[in-house]
Amino acid sequence: MTLRRIYVPLAVAAALIVTVTLCVAAHRPKPVPPPVNAILNETLTNAMSDSVSLRGIDREVREFMQYWRIQGISLSVMRNDSLMFSKGYGWADKEKKEEMTPRHILRLASVSKLVTATGIMKLEEQGRLSLDDYVFGPDGILCDSVWTALIKDSLYYDITVEHLLRHQGGFSTRGGDPMFSTRTIMLQNRLRTPPDHETLLRTQLPRKLAFVPGETQEYSNFGFLLLSMIIAKVTGVDYESWMQENVLKPAGCVDFHIANNYYQDKYPNEVKYYVQPDDSPVDEYNNSGRKVVRCYGGNDIRALSGAGAWAASTAELCRFVASIDGRPEVPDIISVESVRRMTEWFDPDTFSLGWNDTKPTGEWTRTGTFSGTSALIKYFPDGECWILVTNTSTWRGAGLAPFTTEMFQKSRAACSALLPHRNLFYVQEETFPSE
C-alpha cells in the first residue's frame, strides 16, 4: 500500500483532532496510524532527539567513535514500529564543517541485501517468480542463449533463486570476490573498461562452481548481483527504479538511492566517507593507473547494485524494517508468510533470507561493511530495533559488528526505559523545540 502525506490547514486539523478524540472515546475503534511523513529526511533534526535523560546514549556513541576513530555516525532507534530516536554524531563532511544529522544518507554496504531479498519475495507474491525457480539454463530465469553457451559446469543448472538468497549457489571467493576484483578481471579478459553486469556474468560463467548448490554455503556478493539481475529481467525495468517504485516507496522510503563511486558524484544530502589515517592509497578500480583513497575509486561501488550499493538514512532504514517485520503498527509491504520465511531459523549455519541471522528468540541481525562504511541493524526480541551506520571504515572491517552490538546493549541498559513515547515517523519539526 502506498502511503501519502496529507496536508491539512491548522484550524481544520485542530477540529479534526477534537472530533476524532470524541469518536475514539465513544466507540474505541482499533487505532489507525497516520500516513508516514513523506519527507522524513527533510524533517528530522538532531534537536528532536536531544534530551538530558538520553545522555547515556550520547556518551556511549561518542566513546565508540573516539575509540574506533570514526568521523561520523547516524543512529536511529525504533520500538514496536515507532521511531523514538534519530540523531547524527560527529561530521558528515569534516572538511566542510558539516555536522551529521538524521537527514544524511550513507552507503549501507551489505545491508542492501535485505532490500534485494524483499524485492524477490515481493515478486514471488505477485506470481512472477518462485524461490524454487532455476537461475540458468533453458528453463532458468537468466536463460539468454549467450550465457547458456558459456556454461561448462552442469551444476549451474541446479542453482535456484533460494540458493542465491541463502549463499548456497556454489560460488566462492577463494580466487577473489568478482565484485571487488574489477582490475584483475579487466586484465584477465583484456577489457578496456570496467565490465557491466552482463559482461561480468560472461567472465564468470565458464568457471567451475566450488560446491554443489544447496549442499553448503559461502557468502557471495556475486550471488546477490545475480538476484539484482533477476529482478531486472523479470520486471523489464532496471533494478534501482523497480525497487524504488515497488518496494521502497510503498514502505514510505523515498530517499533510497544506488550510491556512486566518487565524492563529486554523491547525492546532495549524502555524507563524505573516510578511511583510517594509515590506510594507504590504492590503484583505481578501472586500471587508470591513478592512486585513490580506497573509499573513492578503490572499488566499483555502484556495480554492486543489490549486493551492496544502496544509500539511505538510518531513519528511513528503520521505516523499511518496520514494513517487513510482521508487526501490526506499520502495514507490511510483504505477506505474513513472506515475513515468516525471511526470518525462519534453521540452524546456526544457515543464512536467513536477506538477514545475516534470525535467531529463534526473535533477534534478527543484518550487517554491512566496506571501505568508508560500517552498518548494523539489530532487531531485538522486545521489539526494539537499533540501526547504526558510520561514514568511516575501521581496521576491524566486518569484525566491528560485535563491538557495535555491545555499544547497543550498554545504551539499551542505560536508556531504553527513558526513550520518549512518540513516533518521529509522523511529526513536524516545530513539534520538538530544542531542549
Q: What is the pLDDT along the chain (435 residues), one digit of tens a residue?
A: 333 333 334 333 333 333 333 333 333 333 344 444 457 999 999 999 999 999 999 999 999 999 999 999 999 999 999 999 999 999 999 999 999 999 999 999 999 999 999 999 999 999 999 999 999 999 999 999 999 999 999 999 999 999 999 999 999 999 899 999 999 999 999 999 999 999 999 999 999 999 999 999 999 999 999 999 999 999 999 999 999 999 999 999 999 999 999 999 999 999 999 999 999 999 999 999 999 999 999 999 999 999 999 999 999 999 999 999 999 999 999 999 999 999 999 988 899 999 999 999 999 999 999 999 999 999 999 999 999 999 999 999 989 999 999 999 999 999 999 999 999 998 654 444 444
**49 vs 76: CA distance, rounded Å:** 10
Beta strands in 215-266 (DSSP E): 257-258
186-203 exposure pattern, b = at least 16 Cβ within 10 A, e = fewer: beeeebeebbeeeebbeb
Contacts for 237 with CB less than 8 Å, ≥ 6 apart: none
What phi and psi values does residue 378 have, to the nearest 5 degrees? -125, 110
Distances (CA, A) of 188 to 148, 203, 209, 239: 21, 9, 19, 28
C-alpha pair distances (Å), 313 with each of 19, 21, 286, 316 = 35, 33, 29, 5
Contacts of 220 (CB under 8 A, 6+ apart): 164, 167, 169, 171, 172, 173
Is the entire prediction scored with pTM above 0.75? yes
Distant-in-sequence, close-in-space partners of 431: CB < 8 Å, separation ≥ 6: 48
